Amino acid sequence: MSQRTERRGIHVDQSDLLCKKGCGYYGNAAWQGLCSKCWREEYQRVRQKQIQDDWALAEKLQREEEAAYASSQGVQSHSQSTPPQQPPGHTSLGPFSKFEEKKTNEKTRKVTTVKKFFSPSSRSASKKETQEGKSPSPSISRHASFDTDQVSRDFVDFLKNLQKTGREIHKQCRAFIMNMSSKKDLSAEELSECVQDFYQSMADRLMSHFKGSSDSVEQVMDQVEKYIMTRLYKSVFCPETTDDEKKDLATQDRIRALHWVTIQMLCVSMDEEIPEVSENVDKAITDIIEMDSKRVPRDKLACITRCSKHIFSAIRITKNEPASADDFLPALIYIVLKANPPRLQSNIQYITRFCNPSRLMTGEDGYYFTNLCCAAAFIEKLDAQSLNLSPEEFERYMSGQASPRFSSSEGDWPHSGHGVTATNPVLAQLNHNLELLSGLSSRQETLMESARSLQADLLSWPDTVQREVNDILEKYPLEVRSCTVSAIDANNMDNDNLPPPLTPQVFAG
Partner 1 sequence: MAAAGAGGGGRTYSFKVVLLGEGCVGKTSLVLRYCENKFNDKHITTLQASFLTKKLNITGKRVNLAIWDTAGQERFHALGPIYYRDSNGAILVYDITDEDSFQKVKNWVKELRKMLGNEICLCIVGNKIDLDKDRHVSVEEAESYAESVGAKHYHTSAKLNKGIEELFLDLCKRMMETAQAEERVKGNGASQSASSRRGVQIVDDEPQATPAGGCCSSG
Convert 255-285 into a string of H (helix), E (strand) and C (coil).
HHHCCCCCCCCCCCCCCCCCHHHHHHHHHHH
Cα–Cα distance, 260 to 443 (Å, whole number): 35
Q: How far is the CB of 42 from partner 1 (least distance, A)?
A: 9
Residue 237's alpha-carbon distances to 179, 219, 286, 305, in angstroms, are: 17, 24, 22, 21
Q: Closest separation between CB of residue 12 and Zn ion, Å?
A: 17
Query: Does 21 sit near Zn ion (CB under 5 A)?
Result: yes
| Distance between CA atoms of residues 5 and 478, nearest Å | 89
Contact pattern from residue 372 through residue 411 relative to partner 1, giving x for each residue in contact according to CB under 8 A and a dash for the rest: -xx--xx--x---xx-------------------------
Distances from the Cα of 183 to the Cα of 176, 269, 277, angstroms: 11, 48, 48
Options 287-295, 432-440, 461-469, 477-485: segment touching partner 1 (CB under 8 A): 287-295
From Mg ion, partner 1, Zn ion, none, which one binds at residue 179 (CB under 5 to 8 Å depending on kind)?
A: partner 1
Residue in 20, 21, 110, 405 binding partner 1, rule: CB under 8 A: 110
Q: Which does 385 bind (CB under 5 to 8 A by kind): Zn ion, partner 1, Mg ion, none?
A: partner 1
313-332 positions binding partner 1, by CB under 8 A? 313, 315-316, 320-330
CA angle at residue 64 from 140 to 164, to 5 degrees? 110
- The verdict on 159 binding Zn ion (CB under 5 A) reads no
By CB under 5 A, tell whether 324 contacts Mg ion: yes
Query: Does residue 17 interact with Zn ion by CB under 5 A?
Result: no
Mark residues 315-354: x for contact with ligand GDP by CB under 6 A, - for none.
Answer: ---------x-x----------------------------
DSSP 109-168: HHHHHHHHHH--S-----HHHHHTT----HHHHHHHHHHHHHHHHHHHHHHHTTHHHHHH
Q: Which of 19, 31, 165, 297 contacts partner 1 by CB under 8 A? A: 31
Nearer to partner 1, 325 or 437 (CB): 325
63 binds, among partner 1, Mg ion, Zn ion, none (CB under 5 to 8 A by kind): none
What letter represents residue 43's amino acid? Y
Nearest-angstrom CA–CA distance, 97 and 23 = 51
Binders of Zn ion among residues 30 to 89 (CB under 5 A) are 35, 38
Binding positions for Mg ion, 449-488, rule CB under 5 A: none
Phi, psi of 26 (to 5 degrees): -75, 140
Sign of the torsion formed by the C-alpha atoms of 247, 250, 256 and 258: negative
User: What is the C-alpha to C-alpha distance for residues 461 and 455, in angstroms, rounded to an integer?
Assistant: 10
Q: Which of residues 187-246 bind partner 1 (CB under 8 A)?
A: 194, 197-198, 203, 207, 211-212, 214, 217, 233-240
Q: Are the C-beta atoms of 18 and 25 separated by less than 8 Å?
A: yes
- Which residues lie below 8 Å from residue 361, measured CB to CB, with a gap of 6+? 110
**Does 48 participate in binding partner 1 (rule CB under 8 A)?**
yes
Q: Considering the rule CB under 8 A, would residue 117 count as an interface residue with partner 1?
A: yes
* 50-62 as b/e: b if 16+ CB within 10 A: beeebeeebbebb
The CB-of-329 to ligand GDP minimum distance in angstroms stands at: 13
Q: Binder to Mg ion among 16, 64, 326, 395 (CB under 5 A)?
A: 326
Contacts of 31 (CB under 8 A, 6+ apart): 38, 39, 135
Q: Is 24 helix (H, G, I), strand (E, B) or coil?
A: coil
**Number of residues in contact with Zn ion under rule CB under 5 A:** 6
Q: Which does 297 bind (CB under 5 to 8 A by kind): partner 1, ligand GDP, Mg ion, none?
A: none
The minimum distance between CB 282 and partner 1, in angstroms, equals 18
* Cβ-proximal residue to ligand GDP, closest one: 324
83 binds partner 1 (CB under 8 A): no
